[in-house]
Amino acid sequence: MFNTPSTILAHESVTNAGNFVTHEYILNRGETSMNLFRRFCPHRMYPLAEPGSIVENIVCGFHGFAWNKDGTPINNDRKIGCGSAAIGKSGLVFKNFVEPEHQWVYDLSKETELKYSHCYTGHSKGSWLWFMDVNADLLHVQKDGIHPVLSKQVELEDVGMETGDGWALQTHPDGWWLCIYPFSFVEYSRPGMLSIMTVTPDNINNEYGYTWLTQVYYEDSVDINRRMIFETLDTVFKEDIEASELQKGDYFPLMEAHNRYEEHCVHFGEWVKEHRNK
């Protein structure tokens, strides 16, 4: 559907405790980049670890094939390496993305004490294009919209909106929301709180069916009350997924914004039209 689409895999701090597992890859910290290992055993394609887990040595539970922490085979001759991902100034780990010179990058570059906390994951049979469009749509964040709880936390009138090459940013007094097209959503609350949500399509050539993984990071100084408020994001994502599953038919771009809160939907739709394979 898209040639070499951008995706955000994690924050670099996630590998401080070991190799981190996403739906597609096992991430291993290299000197200047992140090494990527396939999550599925090259012997019989059995999953090597569960998404969201942190592993040291990598062992396949099917036949016992094993690799050490840098992907070197221990008891077999099968390679699991499949490339690398860049680590930006922001600390985000990404593929096929050019990190801009922007305030959101500078914000994250100052967060040097983040630690991986936990993750949420799930599967949807809905359209991941509709889901990402919903993430770009601010109009539904209102008292009578999809997110009545979130609307009590953020005043839409206070939200600033910017776009760049393949991304849209929505800023509010406590932080920001960032859509990186077409698979990733990053939320930051200052200081010391970060989440990264990544969609993995079941089939890149079909908009229906996807898994999602939301990673949560905190500084040690963040107290329990702020964490509880921040983690309403899991409820928000589930509400967005439910909303996208109720939208009928294949995804189609919004051609014109009825007000400024829909401008990012138009921006996302234009990006999809430009980059979607003919």
CA 139, chain centre distance (Å): 22
Distance between CA atoms of 42 and 40, rounded to whole angstroms?
Answer: 6
* Domain topology for 101-275: Naphthalene 1,2-dioxygenase Alpha Subunit; Chain A, domain 1 (3.90.380)
Domain ranges of the chain: 7-87, 101-275
The tens digit of pLDDT for each residue in 256-274 reads 999 898 999 999 999 999 9
- The model's pTM is 0.93
The tens digit of pLDDT for each residue in 230-251 reads 988 888 888 899 989 999 899 9
CATH class of the domain defined by 7-87: mainly beta
Cα 81 to Cα 1, 36, 75, 92, 95: the distances in Å are: 25, 6, 16, 20, 15
pLDDT at 224 over 90: yes
The tens digit of pLDDT for each residue in 52-76 reads 999 999 999 999 999 998 999 999 9
